[in-house]
Structure 1
Amino acid sequence: MYADVNGTKLYYTMEGTGIPCMIISYAGTLFYERTFSKELQKYFQLIYVDLRGGGQSDPGIIGEITLASLVEDVEQLRQTLNLNKIAVIGHSGNSWLALEYARQYPRNISHLILVGQGPKSGTEDTVKEQQNYWETFSSGERKTILERNLQQLTEDEQFDTFSTSESFIKMYVAWAPRLWCDAQFDCSHLWKEVNLNADVLRRFLDIVMKDYDSTSFLSEITCPVFLALGKYDFLNPPILWDGEKEKFPDCTYHLFERSGHNPQLEEQTLFTSKIIAWIMK
C-alpha cells in the first residue's frame, strides 16, 4: 500500500490488530517482516514502513532527505492513517530516527522499542569502543571466519560489477561474525527480493545521521522504552549504552545472551515474549 506523505509516496504494509506500531526501515519492509515474529500481530497492528526514498517508496531526490523530513514523514503517515498514539520500533540505524520522533512528538508515541543500536553515531570514541569489544570478546575462530569471508569477496571477480545495493548485501552476509551469534550464519535468504536502495541508506547513515547524539536528551523521552541488545553484536555492542540507558525515565533493558545484531530473529521466542510482557504491564 502507498500513502501520499509530504509530497512523496511511502510504501507500507499492515498486519495484525492491537497497538499501532510502526517499524521504520531503510532496509526494506521484507527484511523486518521476515525477522519479527508473527506472534506480535496479536498485540500490535504492525505497520512496516519504507522510509522516504527507500525500498518501494518513491525514490524522489536523495539530496532532499534530511532528519527533519524523515521525522515529519513519520508524523504525517500517522495522521494519514488516522492513528492516535503509535508505538515505534527502530532497529540498527533506524533507532536514531525512532528516538528523534519520540523526542519531537512525545504526545503521539505510546512506546519506543530500540534494537541493536547505540545512542550515537560513529564518533571517534564509539568506533574505539566497537573495535575494543571486537578485539576483546570475539574468539579467534570468529576472527578467522570474518577474514576468510572478506577474502572470498575480494577474490570474487564479479564483485566489482555488482550494484551498490548488491554489494551492500554481499558485505552484510560476509560480516556474519560481527552481526550474528552464529558466526557462520548465512543471512542471504533474508535479503531475497528485498528492495534495498543502498545509496539512500548510505546518505541516511553517513550524512543525515552523521554525528547524531541522543545522550543529551534521553532524559526527555517520556514514553516507556524497551532496549534490546545482543551480546554478540559486534557492530553495535551493548557497552555503547553503559552509563547512558539509565538516563531514560522509563526503560526496560534486556541483553540477549545468544544474539548478535538481530535478537528479534536469533532469539525470536524470548524476544517476542519479553516485548509482549512489557507491553502488557
Structure 2
Amino acid sequence: MKIRVYDIDLAYDDHGIGIPVIFLHAFPLNRSMWDGVTTALLEEQCYRLVTLDWRGFGESDITSDISTMDMFADDVVALMDALGMQQAVICGLSMGGYAAFALWRKYASRIQGMILSDTRPGADNEEGKANREQLAQLVESQGVDAVADLQMPRLLSEYTRQNHPEVELRVRQMIDAATPQGISAASRGMAQRPDSTNMLPDITCPTLIVVGEQDAITPPSVAQDYASKIPNAQLKVIPQAGHLSTIEQPEAYLEQVKHFLLLLE
C-alpha cells in the first residue's frame, strides 16, 4: 500500500488488530527485512503490525538531497495520524534506531514502548561523517552495487556468511532495491543526526535493547553502555548474529520481541 506523506508516496504494510507496533528498517534495506517477524507475530492475533519503506528505499518515492532522522520521525507520525494510531510501540534496527531516538525527542507522547536493535544513541564523529559522505559519493558515481559490495562484510556475522548464503543473497537483493538518491540522502542525513546520549535517562517508556553478539558496527559493549543509562531497559544479546540480528537469527530475535510485547499487554 502507499499513502501520501508530505511530499512523497510512502509504501507501507498494515496487518492485524491489537497493540500497534511500527517497524523501522535498517540502512540501506527496506521493510521486507521484517517479514519473518511480522508473519510470526500475526499468528498471535493481538498486534497491529506496520512496516514502511523510508524515502528512496523499497517502494517509496525518491526523496530530496538529504533525509534526516527528524524527517523520518515526521513521516512515521504522519503515517500514524493517517492510520488513526495515537500511540505505538516503535521497533527500529540500526538507522531505524536512529529514527526511533528522533521520534522520542520530538514525539515522546506517541510512543508506547521501544525496541532498539543494533543501534546507538551517539552522533557520528568527524571520521564517521566523512565516511557517510564518501558512501554518498560512491553510490552517486558507481551505483547501488558498489554500496552492497562495501556494506556486506560489515552487516553480517562471520557465522551467517559461512553458513547461510541465502541470507547474504536476501540482504543484497534488498540493497539492490534501493535508489542511489535514497541511499545518498539517508547517508548524509545520518551524518547530521544529533547525539541522543543526554536524553537516555529521560526515556521513560518500556525499552528493549537487542544486539547481535558479533555486531561489528554497534557491538554489545555499546549496547551495554547505553542500556545502563535508560531507566529499567532490558538488554538481550542474540548469539551468532551480526548487525542484522532480526534477519540473521529470526527465531531468537522474535522470542525477545514477543516476550517484551507480552509485558505491554
TM-score by length of 2: 0.81
In the TM superposition, residue 101 of structure 1 has moved relative to its aligned partner by: 0.2
Given the alignment, which residue of 86, 90, 93 partners 2:92? 90
Distance 1:183 1:2, change over 3 A: closer
In the TM superposition, residue 163 of structure 1 has moved relative to its aligned partner by: 5.1
> Residue 62 of structure 1 corresponds to which residue in structure 2?
65
Contact 2:56 2:178 in 1 (8 A): no
Given the alignment, which residue of 160, 178, 191 partners 1:182? 160
Q: 1:218-268 CA distances to partner (integer Å, 9 max, x unpaired)?
A: 111121111000111112111123432111123111011222112223332
> Residue 132 of structure 2 corresponds to which residue in structure 1?
none
Tell me the percent identity: 20
* Match status 1:261 vs 2:262: no
In the TM superposition, residue 124 of structure 1 has moved relative to its aligned partner by: 6.3
Paired with 2:182 and 2:63, the residues of 1 have a C-alpha distance of 10
In the TM superposition, residue 30 of structure 1 has moved relative to its aligned partner by: 2.1
Distance 1:174 1:66, change over 3 A: closer
What SS does structure 2 have at the residue aligned with 1:217?
Answer: helix
Paired with 1:126 and 1:69, the residues of 2 have a C-alpha distance of 21
In the TM superposition, residue 106 of structure 1 has moved relative to its aligned partner by: 1.5
Paired with 1:13 and 1:37, the residues of 2 have a C-alpha distance of 10
In the TM superposition, residue 121 of structure 1 has moved relative to its aligned partner by: 3.7
Q: 1:82-137 CA distances to partner (integer Å, 9 max, x unpaired)?
A: 1121111111122111111022212111111111112224326989xxxxxxxxxx
The one-letter code matched in structure 2 to 1:21 is: V
Aligned length: 246
The one-letter code matched in structure 1 to 2:16 is: G
What SS does structure 1 have at the residue aligned with 2:215?
Answer: coil
> Residue 132 of structure 1 corresponds to which residue in structure 2?
none
Distance 1:21 1:231, change over 3 A: same
Greater Cα offset, 80-89 or 40-49: 40-49
Distance 1:238 1:206, change over 3 A: farther
In the TM superposition, residue 180 of structure 1 has moved relative to its aligned partner by: 4.8
Contact 1:103 1:221 in 2 (8 A): no
Greater Cα offset, 210-219 or 87-96: 210-219
After TM superposition, which residue ranges in structure 1, 4 or more long, deviate above 6 angstroms? 124-127
Paired with 2:205 and 2:160, the residues of 1 have a C-alpha distance of 34
TM-score by length of 1: 0.77
Q: Which has the larger radius of gyration?
A: 1
The one-letter code matched in structure 1 to 2:102 is: E
For structure 1, the residue ranges without an aligned partner over 5 or more in a row are 128-159
What SS does structure 1 have at the residue aligned with 2:122?
Answer: coil
> Residue 261 of structure 2 corresponds to which residue in structure 1?
279
Contact 2:8 2:63 in 1 (8 A): yes
The one-letter code matched in structure 2 to 1:118 is: R
> Residue 134 of structure 2 corresponds to which residue in structure 1?
none
Contact 1:218 1:248 in 2 (8 A): yes
> Residue 116 of structure 2 corresponds to which residue in structure 1?
114
> Residue 178 of structure 2 corresponds to which residue in structure 1?
196
In the TM superposition, residue 192 of structure 1 has moved relative to its aligned partner by: 2.9
Given the alignment, which residue of 171, 187, 209 partners 2:150? 171
